[in-house]
């Protein structure tokens, strides 16, 4: 949660909404993070959660 809050502060500093999201695995390892970029991107789906999930999905698959 502290990482999501840090990302939210980064959002505020960049002029976006102060919303951050993180994706972690079952061991609580950080896979990706993002903040809402609706003010800086023309994409209406540029919400923190969507961006973080997209970034996670674009990572190379790792064997379990």
Query: How do residues 23-37 score in pLDDT, each as one tens digit?
Result: 999 999 999 999 998
Dig out the tokens for 22 from the structure: 């993180």
46 within some domain: yes
Q: What would the mean pLDDT of 32-47 be, rounded to a whole number?
A: 88
22 within some domain: yes
H-type alpha helices, the chain: 2-13, 48-57
Structural domain of residue 29, as residue ranges?
Answer: 2-57
- Can you tell me which residue has the tokens 């973080």? 52
User: Which stretch of 9-18, 20-29, 49-58 has the lowest confidence by average pLDDT?
Assistant: 9-18
Q: What is the pTM of this model?
A: 0.79
33 within some domain: yes
62 within some domain: no
64 within some domain: no
Number of domains in the chain: 1
Separation of alpha carbons 35 and 23, rounded Å: 12
């Amino acid at each position: 949660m502290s990482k999501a809050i840090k990302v939210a502060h980064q959002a505020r500093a960049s002029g976006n909404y102060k919303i951050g999201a993180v994706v972690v695995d079952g061991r609580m390892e950080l896979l990706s993070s993002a903040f809402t970029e609706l003010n800086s991107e023309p994409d209406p789906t540029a919400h923190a959660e969507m961006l973080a999930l997209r970034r996670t999905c674009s990572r190379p698959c790792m064997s379990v």
